[in-house]
């Protein structure tokens, strides 16, 4: 594709507004910028689309939204008339243009004869997954860029089970899009006319009530909260996003009496004015929450990302300071707690299962299996966990009680097939209350789990590779690691190499080759003689290579030394 020809095509299309034309005219003497915007379309993958909001083929704007929706609508229509009537649920987050993009997607679907259920305003991502299942929709669309910076927006697509598109359907959409002209081949219709004809139906409070009834039904233990409620202080922040309404509602339903919301961050704002990054993985974003916690003497802080599918927590340590609890650590706490709570409540199913991703701490497996619960690995992404959950439960092989990944995503219950920060915030708070009845904070609880199950430690490194040559650099690094794999890492022997692309396994000592169950993902795994596991994979949504260090020590000091040692090796990759 000639980026200059595509640039000229947009300028001469006759459909852009005067402001949009002016935006493109302003870069006419900047070939590098033109190339970055027009060298090719945004790649449609299993995570949908994600990019910065600008005019251009490789950006997020109304034309790209319409184009993507036309392709998706044709895939839905190909399933037949019943699929068109079952239709699509459409949701949006708090980001700039999210409501505009959602309405544009609704207009295109309606023009293609597909019934649309459009949320009246922003809602948590898990509620979109819920709506697809609850209303028996054929598909779902969510306009969100999750926890990315304010310049970004995105477009996630879901299938009938409420999970994001599996690879085969994503490939089918991508194939269809390659044949659709971004201007000439798009069907659209007037929004109000589509509503009047019943093609677009607006979802509101009734869907919230149905969703929240399922969330509240997940409560295991009201008694512990009742026991400590007079003294139990909770601080919550939605980071200007979709958790602002339903998370506080869930916590109050649990019985939290003293809930302190960070007022500055309860304001819906796609510019995220109070934080550099609206990501609960970044502890610096919690500074207002920490101030509020210190004011009220709280030991526990909960924060959800802008689309309320990820949740991060901070807890007070022994020295009185607040420390972040990583996604791995929160997941381990939850696995241990949920197993115990279900056993105490007598609700543990037969053949209970926990799901985690291949890059998530092995401590989760140790906790699960030590308590008689099976643990399975999946590829990164809740679509794969949903697929595994569906397969296990449909075959009768197991009942999934919890799924999680290290990047602060947790899925509990049967009513969603995606990360769910509303339910997770509820159960994490219930867990904190239960530990409070034991005279323990979550910091104390985590230390006790390390003493019981072993001193596991994890660190994720992001090797950022931006720009047009970023993809080439990422591909070159993965190619080098495949063709010239390290025999040692930080002076420690590599004993097993696994390549999830083809499912191959190599024993480095004997040269014996075998295969594993999982294959089809661009991930390399190096297992070392000291028990450490290092995984390397390109991010599916951002221009970076992610390197995961999963290690263990005889005690906290040895664990931390291992993390530091392997961090030095990771630096040699960039």
Q: How confident is the model at residue 222 (pLDDT cuts 50, 70, 90)?
A: very high
Domains along the sequence of the chain with CATH: 41-203 (3.40.120.10), 210-453 (3.40.120.10), 455-571 (3.30.310.50)
Residues 140-178 have pLDDT tens digits of: 999 999 988 999 999 999 999 999 998 888 889 999 999
pTM (predicted TM-score): 0.95
Q: How confident is the model at residue 568 (pLDDT cuts 50, 70, 90)?
A: very high
Structure tokens that stand for 151 in this block? 């310049």
Q: How confident is the model at residue 1 (pLDDT cuts 50, 70, 90)?
A: low
Catalytic residue among 36, 98, 129, 146: 146
Q: How confident is the model at residue 44 (pLDDT cuts 50, 70, 90)?
A: confident
Share of the chain above pLDDT 70, in %: 99
526/504 Cα distance (integer angstroms): 12
pLDDT of residue 369: 98
pLDDT of residue 368: 98
B/e letters for 113-149, b = 16+ CB within 10 Å, e = fewer, are ebbbbbbebbbbbbbbbbbbbbbebbbbbbbbbbbbe
User: Torsion-angle region of residue 394: left (phi > 0), alpha (psi -120 to 50) or beta?
Assistant: alpha
378/395 Cα distance (integer angstroms): 17
Residues 360-393 have pLDDT tens digits of: 999 999 999 999 999 999 999 999 999 999 999 9
Active site residue 13: no
Asked if pLDDT for residue 48 goes beyond 90, the answer is no
B/e letters for 263-288, b = 16+ CB within 10 Å, e = fewer, are eebbebbbebebbebbbbbbbebbeb
Share of the chain above pLDDT 90, in %: 93
Residues 347-368 have pLDDT tens digits of: 999 999 999 999 999 999 999 9
Q: Terminus-to-terminus CA distance in the chain, angstroms? A: 30
408/248 Cα distance (integer angstroms): 19
Residues 396-425 have pLDDT tens digits of: 999 999 999 999 999 999 999 999 999 999
Angle at alpha carbon of residue 407, lines to 347 and 338, rounded to 5°: 15
pLDDT of residue 166: 80
Q: How confident is the model at residue 539 (pLDDT cuts 50, 70, 90)?
A: confident
480/503 Cα distance (integer angstroms): 18
Beta strands 300-304; 233-237: pairing state: parallel
Q: Strand ranges (DSSP E) for 406-543?
A: 409-411, 455-464, 488-489, 492-499, 504-507, 513-515, 524-528, 533-538
Angle at alpha carbon of residue 194, lines to 205 and 86, rounded to 5°: 65
**How many C-alpha atoms does 406 have within 13 Å on its Cβ side?**
23
């Amino acid at each position: 594709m000639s980026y200059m020809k595509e640039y000229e095509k947009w300028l001469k299309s006759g459909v852009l507004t005067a402001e949009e034309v002016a935006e493109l005219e302003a870069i006419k003497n900047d070939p590098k910028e033109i190339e970055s915007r027009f060298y090719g379309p945004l790649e449609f993958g299993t995570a949908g689309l994600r990019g910065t909001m600008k005019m251009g083929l490789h950006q997020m704007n109304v034309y790209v939204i319409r184009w993507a929706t036309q392709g998706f609508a044709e895939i839905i229509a190909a399933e037949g008339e019943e699929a068109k009537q079952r239709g699509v649920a459409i949701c949006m987050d708090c980001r700039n243009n999210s409501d505009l993009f959602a309405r544009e997607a609704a207009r295109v679907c309606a023009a293609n004869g597909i019934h649309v259920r459009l949320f009246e305003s922003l809602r948590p991502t898990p509620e979109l997954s819920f709506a697809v299942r609850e209303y028996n929709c054929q598909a779902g669309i969510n306009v969100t860029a999750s926890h990315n910076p304010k310049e970004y927006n995105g477009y996630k697509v879901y299938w009938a089970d409420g999970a994001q598109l599996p690879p085969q359907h994503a490939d089918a959409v991508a194939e269809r899009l390659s044949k659709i002209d971004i201007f000439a081949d798009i069907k659209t219709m007037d929004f109000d006319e589509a509503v009047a004809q019943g093609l677009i139906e607006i979802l509101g409070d009734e869907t919230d009530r149905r969703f929240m009834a399922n969330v509240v039904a997940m409560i295991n233990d009201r008694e512990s909260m009742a026991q400590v409620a007079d003294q139990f202080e909770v601080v919550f922040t939605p980071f200007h996003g979709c958790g602002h309404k339903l998370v506080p509602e869930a916590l109050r339903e649990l019985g939290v009496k003293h809930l302190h919301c960070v007022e500055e961050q309860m304001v819906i704002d796609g510019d995220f004015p109070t934080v550099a990054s609206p990501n609960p993985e970044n502890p610096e974003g919690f500074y207002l929450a920490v101030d509020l916690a210190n004011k009220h003497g709280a030991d526990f802080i909960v924060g959800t990302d802008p689309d309320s599918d990820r949740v991060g927590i901070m807890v007070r340590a022994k020295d009185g300071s607040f420390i972040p609890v990583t996604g791995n650590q929160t997941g381990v706490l939850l696995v241990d707690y949920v197993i115990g709570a279900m056993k105490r409540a007598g609700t543990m199913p037969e053949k209970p299962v926990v799901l985690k991703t291949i890059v998530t701490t092995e401590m989760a497996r140790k906790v699960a299996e030590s308590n008689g619960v099976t643990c399975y690995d999946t590829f990164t992404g809740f679509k794969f966990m949903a697929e595994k959950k569906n397969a296990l439960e449909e075959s009768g092989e197991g009942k999934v009680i919890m799924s999680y990944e290290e990047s602060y995503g947790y899925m509990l219950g049967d009513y969603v097939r995606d990360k769910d920060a509303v339910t997770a915030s509820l159960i994490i708070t219930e867990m904190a209350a239960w530990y409070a009845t034991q005279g323990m904070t979550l910091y104390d609880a985590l230390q006790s789990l390390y003493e019981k199950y072993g001193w596991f430690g994890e660190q994720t490194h992001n090797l950022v590779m931006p720009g047009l040559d970023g993809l080439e650099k990422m591909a070159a690094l993965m190619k080098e690691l495949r063709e010239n794999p390290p025999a040692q890492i930080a002076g420690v022997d590599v004993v097993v190499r696994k390549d999830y692309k083809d499912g191959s396994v190599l024993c480095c000592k004997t040269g014996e080759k075998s295969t594993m169950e999982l294959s089809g993902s661009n991930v390399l795994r190096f297992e070392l003689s000291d028990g450490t596991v290092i995984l390397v994979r390109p991010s599916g949504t951002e221009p970076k290579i992610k390197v995961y260090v999963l290690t263990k020590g005889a005690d906290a000091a040895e664990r931390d030394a291992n993390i530091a040692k392997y961090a030095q090796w990771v630096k040699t990759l960039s």
